[in-house]
Homo-oligomer: A and B are copies of this chain.
Amino acid sequence: MTTSHVSHILELPLFLDRNANEPLHRQLVTQLREAILQGSISAGTRLPSTRSLALLLHVSRTVTIAAYDELFAEGYIEGRHGSGTYVVEDLSLLKRSPFPSPAGPPRWLRSVEPLLLPRPVVPREAINFRPGTPDMQFFPERTWRELWRQLGHAVPPNAYGEPAGLLELRVEVAAYLGRARGIACQAEDIIITSGATQAVNLIVQATLVPGDTVALEEPGYPLARYAFRASGLHIVPIPVDDDGLDVSQLTNGEAAPYLVYVTPSHQYPLGSRLSSVRRVALLQWAEANDSLVIEDDYDGEFRFHAPPLPALASMDRAGRVVYIGTFSKVLMPGLRVGYLVATAPLRERIARLKRVLDYHVTWPTQYMLAAMLRDGHLERHIRRMRLHYAEKRRQLAEIFAPVASWARLCGLEAGMHVSLALHPALDAYEIAREASARDVYVPTLDEYYTGTPDRNGLLLGYGALDAQQICTGAQTLVELINEHI
């Protein structure tokens, strides 16, 4: 460790100006003192010998000796017999200067503040019903470790990768989408992204300009709304009912939105599904108005008793649908990998944009996911998780059954969250507030609206909760409902 400390300080930028009026040893003292004060050289660090520092700085040894003498006199450094010079251990008197901040609002903070998503700080022990997090308890740890071990022997690539993503992974994703979602695409149709959120942002940036109109489900996915807002787009909220987006409310002709964002498999947040009739109507509308449809299939893998409907993208014959998927819900949120399937010329444009924005998704993660898909590991995991999530949903339904006339679980049997419609006499916000006081965190539906909410309800993300947490959390809510009726 001592050697490493010595060499660390050799990395410190010390610059002696031979033309300055200040003597060289004084310049050295000032810079070393500042480095110690700022914490760039930490307490107890071994300094290089006066000889090696002199060699390094191309100065005579008298300069470094004079500098060390002065620092010694000032109490910054100390000598240990036979083992060199060290920064003193007790720097408690010296205050580290904070990283500077401009005084007042700077002129260059010109853009609109990116919106802060409402996200309360939830204590670790609390039961948190916020949706979006999968269950890692059943994470395929053995498979993951084995693949991880194998990848450790791979030679890392010697260059930047493809902006569109690793070919091996794109091949596997295309095959997976063919098998699982009926989308007949090839590796070349796919772009690997760092999640569904980046996919939405890439699509928007590759196509629209500020002021353009886009349609969003109401209620809908907040991150899509923020992405649209951050790009200066005009959002038209379109109501959702038990059959998904009310396609008939999309305007036509000149006023038709350029883009519609939908979650057909499992509407976010209400949990309904876009009906077959509306799927056909949406595709016809898109073709008639030459508009683009983003199909976000964020947790479409998880449906329990409902038979699957074909993905919109698989029904699209006019190249108007761009399909988004993610590995965050089916494997691990911290991986940050998703994908999109787009027709040319959109995908070419997105690949170019991605190169300029962040180049490509990190190499090891792409390899790991390709391996997870290749031998069916991911699909086996999905099938297992489907059973677990179905059981959790069943459990929730059972607990809320006694108060069914006051609180009704909505949406089809799918996904990792469910919405709970409350009787108009109940105040969702008040129930959430009181639940929070009992360490049960539950978001209210109104967070998911662009405009004025037309529903009174709560959202119950059960993905990451275990049976005990679901039971305790849901029963707390049932008690609160009983107290309020």
Residues of A near any B CB (own CB < 8 A) = 4, 7-9, 11-17, 35, 38-42, 57-58, 96-97, 99-102, 105-111, 113-117, 132-133, 136, 139, 141, 144-145, 148-149, 151-153, 155-161, 175, 178-186, 189, 193-195, 197-198, 201, 205-210, 212, 223, 226-227, 230, 258-259, 276, 289-292, 307-311, 314, 316-320, 328, 332-337, 341, 343-346, 349, 352-353, 355-365, 368, 376, 379-380, 383, 464
Docked pose: A212 CA to B110 CA in angstroms: 9
CB-defined contacts of A349 to chain B, threshold 8 Å: 109, 113-114
- Which chain B residue lies CB-closest to A135? B158
In-complex Cβ contact of A358 among B197, B212, B310 (8 A): B197
User: Could you say which of B133, B156, B332 contacts A139, with CB atoms under 8 Å apart?
Assistant: B156
A311 lies within 8 A of B357 (CB): no
- Shortest CB distance A116–B (Å): 6
Q: How close is A295's CB to chain B, nearest CB, in angstroms?
A: 13
> In the complex, are the beta carbons of A158 and B464 less than 8 A apart?
yes
Known contacts A108-B258, A109-B345, A153-B145: A355-B186 contact under CB 8 Å: no
The answer to whether A100 and B343 have CB atoms under 8 Å apart is yes
- How long is the Cα–Cα vector from A161 to B194 in the complex, in angstroms? 13
* Inter-subunit contact B178/A158 (CB<8 Å): no
Contact across chains for B97 and A11 when beta carbons are under 8 A apart: no
Give the residue name and chain of the B residue nearest to A198 (CB). Answer: B358
For this complex, 9 residue pairs linking A to B, each with C-beta atoms less than 8 Å apart, are: A13-B181, A14-B308, A40-B179, A108-B258, A108-B291, A114-B353, A139-B156, A159-B333, A205-B230
Is B308 a contact partner of A13 (Cβ separation < 8 A)? Answer: yes
In the bound assembly, the distance between CA atoms of A13 and B136 in angstroms comes to 26
A114-B353, A383-B7 as given contacts; A319 in contact with B102, CB under 8 Å: yes
B contact residues around A309 at 8 Å (CB): 13, 15
Tallying the copies of this chain within the complex gives: 2
Minimum CB–CB distance for A280 against chain B, Å: 12
Task: Tell me how far the C-beta of A203 lies from the nearest C-beta in chain B, rounded to whole angstroms.
Answer: 10
Report how far A358 CA is from B335 CA in the complex, Å. 11
The smallest C-beta distance from A133 to any residue of chain B, in angstroms, reads 5
**Within 8 Å CB of A227, what residues of B?**
356-357
- Alpha-carbon gap, A374 to B138, bound state (A): 31
Q: A63 → chain B, closest Cβ, in Å?
A: 14
Q: How far is the CB of A41 from chain B (nearest CB, A)?
A: 8
Among the interface residues A100, A144, A320, which one has the most CB atoms of the partner chain B within 10 A?
Answer: A100
Inter-chain contact A209/B364, CB cutoff 8 Å: no
A322–B259 Cα distance when bound, in Å, is 36
Indicate which residue in B152, B182, B290 contacts A148 across the interface (CB closer than 8 Å). Answer: B152
Nearest CB in chain B to that of A58: its residue? B307
Q: Report chain B residues within 8 Å CB of A320.
A: 102, 106
Most buried by B among A12, A158, A227, A290: A158
Q: Contact: A102 with B343, CB < 8 Å?
A: yes
Q: How far is the CA of A226 from the CA of B163 in the complex (A)?
A: 15
Nearest Cβ distance between residue A435 and chain B, in whole angstroms?
Answer: 20
| Chain B neighbourhood of A206, CB < 8 A | 111, 114
- By the criterion CB–CB under 8 Å, are A14 and B307 in contact? yes
Complex alpha-carbon distance, A401 and B253, angstroms: 68
Contact of B184 with A38 in the complex, beta carbons under 8 Å? yes
Could you tell me if B13 and A108 are in contact, using CB atoms closer than 8 angstroms?
no
Chain B residues, Cβ within 8 Å of A184: 38-40, 96-97, 99
List of B residues within 8 angstroms of A209 by Cβ: 110-111
Q: Is the CB of B110 within 8 A of A136?
A: no
B358 A194 Cβ-Cβ under 8 A:
yes
Minimal Cβ-Cβ distance residue in B for A102: B319
The answer to whether residues A364 and B365 also contact, given A115-B356, A148-B148 and a CB cut-off of 8 A, is yes
Task: Check A355 against B109 for contact (C-beta < 8 Å).
Answer: no
- Measured in the bound complex, the distance between the Cα atoms of B103 and A344 in whole Å is 10
Measured CB to CB, the closest approach of chain B to A186, in angstroms, equals: 7
Instruction: List 5 additional A-B contacts (Cβ < 8 Å) besides A38-B184, A116-B352, A197-B357.
Output: A13-B309, A57-B307, A148-B151, A193-B358, A197-B358
A187 shortest CB reach to chain B, Å: 11
